[in-house]
Amino acid sequence: MKGIKAVIYETNGQSMFIDIGDKIQFISNDISCIISEKSTLEYLKNLFYIIDDWELKYVNPEMIDGDNWKLSIIYFNGNKKEYSGKSSFPNNFEAFERLNQELIDGVYNG
């Protein structure tokens, strides 16, 4: 978690934001709360495992309409890494979405 300031995931008008500061704040479309360092560390460990071999862009030019998504990782030193797609996804994208859903479920269920 050292060096990471925020993780932002946006898809089709929905967003999930993890702000890592003195306290770790989780913000989604309809909820904002403080989450534990343990939950955040577990999330980040799994996130970096999942995205380890991702390319920065996934685009299917043959699709006129489709899902748009973006994952941004912002570092305290000002660097930013962005992964994005339009109607195209990495092979293990479902694992990424499951990871996000597990975090959201944990927030909602306390």
Q: What is the pLDDT of residue 1?
A: 55
* CA atoms of 91 and 26, how far apart (whole Å): 27
What pTM did the predictor assign?
0.92
Contacts of 95 (CB under 8 A, 6+ apart): 50
For residue 109, the 8-state DSSP code is T
Hey, how many other C-beta atoms are within 10 angstroms of the C-beta on 75?
13
107 residue type, one letter: V
In the chain, where are the structural domains located? 4-108
* pLDDT for 49: 97
**What is the per-residue pLDDT across 43-77, written as a single tens digit (0 to 9) for each?**
999 999 999 999 999 999 888 788 899 999 999 99
Predicted confidence at residue 102, as pLDDT, reads 93
Over residues 72-86, the mean pLDDT reads 96
